Amino acid sequence: MKKQIIIALVLIFLVVANLSIAGELAILIPGWGGETEQLSFLKENLPDSIVIKPARMMPIYEAADDVLSQIKDKGLAHQEITLIGFSFGGLIARELAGRYSELRIKKIITIGTPNGGYWVVPGFVFSVTPSGTPLYVIAGEKGTEKWYLKSPNDGAVDVESVLSVPPETLKDSVVYPLSHLDLIKSQEVANQIAAWLK
């Protein structure tokens, strides 16, 4: 009898734990060289979110494979998800959606992502497998003038590159007067993402 009660309690716990992520789960993917802590502010402000950091960043398809493996390991492969990528993490999110149509990716949100390339690196180097997944884009424009960035920029990526996405999948875009790293520490950005998740 004791064993049955323990099993029942464990099952109730699993059901309750699963309900907390039964909504729209957001998977946050950090940028180049970023650790999971890089996205801690957004994670705290987006209740149904987890951070998945790929073990390798290049080539992009291998980074996408790493994220897919972790999604599967966590038992999330059949759940509806939104991918949120910061900087280079946005390219990984787009590649993941393009390569793995069996995932239930509802939308992609990119933050300061060099969609059109990065200063001396043309966009085709960062090209990703296209998908029809709806795309939401956030850019910053509080960067300083640099010889290798077009104005306006966020100090790391120019706005033109961030907004350089397939028009047929772009659902919304917002440009904030913020620098690259301030984009992921902004309450206004977190609120916009939360609104898009609804």
Distance from C-alpha of 15 to C-alpha of 6, rounded to nearest angstrom: 14
Provide mean pLDDT across the span 46-62.
91
The encoded tokens of residue 28 equal: 């946050």
pTM value? 0.85
Select 24-197's CATH number: 2.40.110.10, 3.40.50.1820, 3.40.50.1860, 3.90.1200.10: 3.40.50.1820
**Site of tokens 């998800």:** 81
Query: What pLDDT, on the 0 to 100 scale, is given for residue 123?
Result: 60
pLDDT band of 117, cuts 50, 70, 90: confident
Radius of gyration of the chain (CA): 18
* pLDDT digit string, tens, across residues 128-180: 777 889 999 999 999 888 888 888 999 999 999 999 998 999 999 999 999 99
* pLDDT at residue 11, rounded to an integer: 42
pLDDT tier for residue 18 given thresholds of 50, 70 and 90 = very low
